[in-house]
Structure formats: C-alpha cells, structure tokens
Structure 1
C-alpha cells in the first residue's frame, strides 16, 4: 500500500489556538459521496492510512462541512442528488482557492472529469479504482498542497501609478497598459502580449506576475524561438532519464518548474506544429507528461505568452493553430513602440542612467536639453532595448557629469533615421532575388532584399532565416523594425 504523508494543516483560516490539542492535528479530508456503501468503503480505507475524514452525503451538507473543517483535500463525487458537483467545486475553490479537489466520476463520464480539471480540480478518479490508486491520489494532493508556496495578497496600487518600478512609462499609452495589467492580473486568464522587438514584452509579463496572487510563486520564461525545435518539447514538458540520446538525468521542464506561478512563453509563434498540439492539450487539462514518462501529473500554472509577429497572420499562413490561438488570445496586451510613447523615452533613459552609473561607480547628473530633444525625435527601431544599449555605452565610456551629444555613440549620431517621405527600396517581383535584380542597388537595399527573401523562403520564420544567414534572430528583428520606421 502506498505510504501516505499526512498534511500538517499549518495554513488556512480559523486555525485553533496555539497549544491546543486541535492545533497540532491535521485537517480532515472531506469526502462528499451520496452512496452510503461507498462512503463506508472510502472512509475505512482513508482511516486505515491514518487520515481523519469528514463525510457529507449531499452538496448542501458538503458545503457546510467545508466551511467548518476548511480541508486541504476534498474527495468529491460529481453526481450528487441535490446539485451539480462541478458547481459545488467552484464554490469551494472560491472560498479557499488553495484546496486540492479530487473528483470521482463513473466510467462513462470522462468528459465531466476533463471539464472538472479545466475548472480547477487537482485530479480525477474513474470508478472502479483500486485502493492503491485511491490512496496515491490522496497522497499526491496532500503533498502538492504542502509543497505549494505560501500565498501573499496582490499589492493594491493607488491611482494610476505603474504596476512595477521596472516597467517604466507614464504616457497615456502606458497608463492604459498599467490599468489592463492591474485588472487582468487578478484572474487566471491567459494573457497574450504583442509588440515589436525590444518594447518590453517580458517586463510586461513579469508585471502581470508580480501584481497577481501568484507573486510568491516562480516566474519561468522560455524563448520558443531560441531553442532548437527538437529540444523544445523537453524544455517545456521535461523528460525522464534515458528517454532520448543525451537524456542523462530526469528534467522537470518549464511547465513543472512554474507550478504555483507563471509560465512565460516568448516568441510563441515560432513553436513547432507538433508541440502546439501538446501545448493545447496542456492548456485544456493542466496535465504535464515529460518525454518518456508513462503517467502525467497535474500542475497549477498561469500562462502568459508573447510574439513580435502578427499572430492572426501566422494563423492564416498555417504556421499557428487556430484553436490554440483562440485558447491563448484571451486578454490581449499590445506593447506600443517607443516612438509612440512621447516623453517615456526620457524617463527610461534617465532611470537607466542612474542604475548603470551606480553599477559602474560613476556619477551622472542627467541628460542635457539637446540630447533630450534628439531622443524624443529619434525613431528608436530597437525600442527600449536600444535606449538601454545607448545609455550603457555612455556610462562605460565616460567619467560622469551631464550627458551631452559628444558622449553619445558614433553609430547613433552618425546614422540618423531616413526622412519619413523616403520610400523603402522596392523588391524584385520574383520570389527570390536575382543578380539582375540587385545590380544598381545600394548595399543596404541588397541586404534588405536578401533578408526578406530568406525569411519568405522559410515560411516567415525569422529564427530559421537567421540560422541560414548565420546571425541571431534579434538582429533580423531589429533590421526589419528599422525598415518600417
């Protein structure tokens, strides 16, 4: 028989006074089952394993006992005489979200079990099941409950202040984003962040996490475009030792590592179609099955994803599953380019100047008026990332004082953005560049033609084109954004 670890009952509400006999006892497992014979069997098995058990035969009685005992684990039959078991489960989870509910259903009601998992159940048991399976499910639920990090309430922002100090910007566009983050962070809804490269999509995801009830849990970021496709499944879902060549030890994967917190999937549109199918299944069931494993396990993860591509265009091209898109695109947040954020560039630059100066042990006093004016009119094709690079260069190569034009990098001041009325170079009418189509063009125009043709040849995938051209994907993203400006 499976060894059962008993819950300590150290968290929760209405805890008995310290020093009392009740304070040291674990909370009972709540069993809600309307069939008397099954009540007796389940209760006997649990008691033999050392568990205290509270029993209820109806939904009304079950909710009453739930409020009395505040259990960490609930065993819930979905077929109750007075109410739908799913509705009861949702009421209990609203009262105490950290409760782990194991639903019990008949063999012909698998769809109900899957629906329960989507609604927040920890696990399900399909009748008939043996004693070992029954106690194993209870043990897993108890261990998961004890291992979960203590919750802390989300911070309560006052007025329109930014949701996090690292996520700067007081422009009207950013004020709308701060408001959306504060509203969405309290829910479990999936958030889909879009925007150009360098606009701060990961900082946005981190702000969602830090403002949510999951702030005490882990924040795990995974760049789907920077990992080889044949290793991506292992990175997301993990693997067991020996499951493939090079798997010398068990690896939990990002989804399991984010249990109790937030999983951030960057460049989601670069994910391979086969893995998109597995991600959709994970979103529907919250079950993780590492490569080579025989049994899945439940995790409690909030998904935030991001892309610098147009996700709907990726769907139309057949590169991204339509059903996965609609499953992920629940709360969209679009990060505006820095050129559309007014005075935010000065705020970001001055904050970066202060931070980098402290790191380098130097003293700077801010930006002079000419530099501020240049920063405001510059198109910043690399967005916030480019600002940080410019300021880091200034701090490293200068001793301090007020930042003036002469301190700025030569590459920044010597290559101003082209006039807005200058049209971009036209591309050849053929699918790929030809020598005749390149003769007479500037080197910059040829570079753009070759890069765009390579991306098109690889179905719009920037990471694949980058591998072909032997450059990093971020280089291509920055160049494409510069061509748009």
Structure 2
C-alpha cells in the first residue's frame, strides 16, 4: 500500500493546528504538528515531510527567517505560508524567498487544499525529472544501464509503475535481454522494496515440483513430503514474486495461479486451509503468450490478468551505444572480481562490438567480457582480443552495405543506401512487432518520416504484427 503524503503544520494557534490536522487527515494525508520554530526544526531533523505549512508569526521565531533557514538546507521542500489578512507584502517576500504559495487568515480550507495538491503535484514532477536527469547523465537506473531512447522510455515506464505496488506486470523480451533486472528495478521502485524479491524460473521445474515450490506442501502430501514446507508465495509475502518463463507453466497450475492473483489466497499442496498473501506478481516470457492462448496452451483469463501493465525489454541490437556502456560496466566489474587492471577497449574493438548483432543479448555480452578479462594478456582489449564470432559476424543490416567495385560509384552508393534502408526497416518492424509508433521511437525519427520510408520501400507494418486469434 502506498504511503500517504506527509504534511508538517507549523502554527502557534492550537485551534488552527487541530482544525488542519483533522481536515487534512480526512483527505488522506498524514499530519505532524509543531507550535514553535524550535519544534518545527526538530521535527524536520527527525523526518522530512512531503510539504510544510508555515505560519509567519511564531512565538520564538520569525517565520521569514525560518523559511530562509529551511530553504538553505532543503531547497526542494514545498512550503506554503500562512499570513494574517493584510500582510500581502510579507507574503510576496515569502514567495520570492522560495515559498510555493501563501494563504491569508482567516482562510478557506478548500483554497489551502488546492494549493497543497498543486504543490505536491509539482514536487512529484520535479522529483521524477531529477531521477530521469540523473539516469541520463549516468546512463544507469536501478541496476539497468542505457542512454538509448528505447531504454530511457523503459526507465520512465518503470518510474511510473512505482505509483502502484499491487498491479501485475508482464515483461516480454528476447532471451538474455535483462527481464529479471527489469523486474528487480520495478520492485526497488515500489513501496515493497523493503520486503523480499523472490525469483523462480517456471521452465526449470516439472509441473508438480513447481507447484510445491510456489505454494508449499504439508507433511504427507506426497511420498517425499517429510515435513511442512513454505511456498515462495509465503516467502515473498509483502514483497514481489518474479515468475520467469511463465509461458512454460502447465494449464493445471495456471488455474491455481489465477486464483491467487484474484483472491490473494491459496492452499498448500495436500492442505485444506486457505492462506492469505499480499504479493505483487511480475511475470516474464520470451515467447508470444497471445499465440500460446490461441493454441490453447495458455489461459486467456490468466494472460489478461498478468498483462495489466505490459513492458517490453528491447534487444541489445537496437540499443546503439548502450553496447559500449554495458561492455565498460562489465569490464569494471570483472576487473575487480578477477583482480585485473585492463584499461578499456580500442576503437576497433568498440566498432566490432557495435557491429555484432548479439543474438544472446546482454547475457552474451556479459559472458564475452568475462571471458576476455580472464584471458586478456595486455592492458587493453583490441579487435584481435574479441571472440572470433564477434569479430566476424556482423548485424544482418550491415551485410547489405558491401560495395561492388564493378558498379559506378553513384550506382553502388544508391544500391547500398536502398538495401540498407529496406533491411533496416524490416528488422525494425520485426523487432517492434509492426508497431509504427514504437518503431519511430526506437529509430529516433518522426513517425511521419518513418511512414514515408515505409511507403518508399512498399513495406506494410501489418505484415510484421504478431498473429493473434484472441477475440
């Protein structure tokens, strides 16, 4: 459950403090009170509120001086000033000193409440912008690395998902693209971050073992059930349960999972008692669940229940310079782990890393860097240090750019550009499953420009959409 926004009310009049506390708590806020400047400063030191309501007249302090002191230590804290009627000049000075707004006594509570809502809304937007600015500058976000537009959009979506700690999320993406890292980022960005994150791969266990792993069992439920066992739903209570490769789960078990998602209850294998749990489920798959539904291998109701919020992790081949950011991050990690001191990559090595299409995605890149750090003789990785496959295998897009010396320069150039454009667009649409808006974002170009190119090469985005027989 999301924490209520906290407001500190500082006013020397007890009846006003009491009125504001009652009114604001009725609107869902958590309210702390202070009657003096000293009490206010002590309260601020103990815990930072989301907003401060401050009377300018206090028995032991000048509210304007207090405002300035607070602004120096916490410039982003929204502050609403309460002034006596006729003190507009002081209110204007307070606004110049950094207050968000002012309300004159005797005030209308609805006016104050609107001001509080606006201040908190702007404060939230500022916090989100600061997070995204930090992400862009460092190219890192809760364990994820990337400055490409597709990753920045993914970061923004994860940040927004943090507003809900109960909604199920379905993460799709190719093998090795980082779906579990995304799931952990979702957990860390939620109100559940202090509780457990528990991960299980549904493809590694058979149906009965997976059922016992998820839901636990009672003693005697089956031959080897010598004692009672907690399931992962109980272990993850209050936190997040990550179900990787959810598409491999058998239909019988899917029905039991659906019940937990809808009723928040389940029974251990062999048990008769309902157990209540509070768990957020994040699932992931590298196959089309829509296709599995149409083929009768996955429950349609479970698919819709899991995919309340769908997230797609982009493959590494469309992430551009992120390949180098990731390679350098892994190099730092394995230098430390293996007590090596490899300085970095030469330009030709970087180019080879960029040219390779990475069918195994981030996992393949991580493994390649680990191997290079272990086997590297010199203090820098060059193109000759790379595994043979990476040095020779280029992205399919680049294969069409080999120029023929038997053609005039202009003809060869025109042919290369035409082939490149068509192959690039085909790969782009295939990756984005025919979604033109997502394709334009991935290519970092205007949607109208992309559509012109598609018409030029007689490409129809509908031909690249995944087939689904869902009603």
Shorter chain as denominator, the TM-score bin is 0.5 to 0.7
Tell me, yes or no, if the aligned pair for 1:185 and 1:211 is still in contact at 8 Å: yes
TM-score under structure 2 normalisation? 0.56
* Closer, same or farther: CA 400–219 of 1 in aligned 2, 3 Å: farther
> CA separation in 1, counterparts of 2:289 and 2:188?
26
Counterpart check, 1:354 vs 2:327: no
1:402 aligns with 2:375: no
Structure 1 residues 218, 163: closer, same or farther in 2, change over 3 A? Answer: farther
1:226, distance to aligned residue in structure 2 (A): 1.0
Task: Kindly indicate whether residue 285 of structure 2 is the aligned counterpart of residue 307 of structure 1.
Answer: yes
Q: 1:170 to 1:418 in 2, by over 3 A?
A: closer
Selected match of 1:158 from 124, 127, 131: 131
> How big is the alpha-carbon RMSD for the aligned residues of Structure 1 and Structure 2?
2.9
Give yes or no for contact 1:362–1:399 (8 Å, CA) kept in 2: no
Provide Cα deviations, 1:347-367, integer angstroms capped at 9, x if missing partner: 000000010011000101111
In the other structure, the counterpart of 1:172 is 149
* Aligned equivalents of 1:343, 1:163: Cα separation in 2: 13
Q: Distance in 1 between matches of 2:377 and 2:357?
A: 28
Q: Deviations over 1:374-393 (max 9, x none)?
A: 11111100000110011001
The 5 A counterparts of 1:306-345 are 306-345=284-323
Compare 185-194 and 380-389 and name the one that shifted more.
Answer: 185-194
Looking at structure 1, the residues matched to 302 and 385 of structure 2 have their Cα atoms a distance apart, in angstroms, of 48
CA 357–163 in structure 1, closer or farther in 2 if over 3 Å, else same: closer
How far did 1:419 drift? 7.2
**CA separation in 2, counterparts of 1:176 and 1:315?**
28
Alpha-carbon spacing, 1:163–1:192, altered in 2? closer, same or farther (3 Å): farther
Of 201, 209, 217, which aligns to 2:187?
Answer: 209
Q: C-alpha displacement at 1:324, in angstroms?
A: 0.5
Q: How many residues align?
A: 280
Which of 346, 358, 369 lines up with 2:347 in the alignment?
Answer: 369
Shift of 1:236: 0.9
2-structure distance, mates of 1:67, 1:376: 51
**Structure 2 spans left out of the alignment, 5+ residues:** 1-5, 8-24, 31-126, 401-471
Structure 2: distance between partners of 1:357 and 1:269: 37
| Deviation string, structure 1 residues 184-238 (Cα, Å, up to 9, x no partner) | 1220211100000010000000000011111110000011111112211111111
Residue 384 (structure 2) pairs with residue 384 (structure 1): no
Please report how far the alpha carbon of residue 165 of structure 1 lies from its aligned counterpart in structure 2 after TM superposition. Answer: 4.4
Structure 2 residue corresponding to 1:294, chosen from 272, 275, 279: 272
C-alpha distance in structure 1 between counterparts of 2:151 and 2:308, whole Å = 20
CA shift in 2, pair 1:183/1:400, >3 Å? farther
Distance in 2 between the 1:179 and 1:172 partners? 11
CA distance in 2, matches of 1:372, 1:185: 35
Cα pair 2:176 2:362 within 8 Å, conserved = yes
Per-residue displacement from partner, 1:270-326 (whole Å, max 9, x unpaired)? 100000000001101111311011101111101100000011111111111000011
Secondary structure of 1:159's match? helix
TM-score by length of 1: 0.54
Q: How does 1:32-181 map to 2 (within 5 A)?
A: 158-160=131-133, 161=135, 164-181=141-158
Looking at structure 2, the residues matched to 280 and 166 of structure 1 have their Cα atoms a distance apart, in angstroms, of: 30
Q: 1:308 to 1:400 in 2, by over 3 A?
A: same
Where do residues 189-228 of structure 1 align in structure 2 (5 Å cutoff)? 189-228=167-206
Q: Unpaired runs of 5+ in structure 1? A: 1-12, 15-62, 69-154, 423-485
Whether the 8 Å CA contact 2:357–2:394 is kept in 1: the answer is no
Displacement of 1:163: 6.7
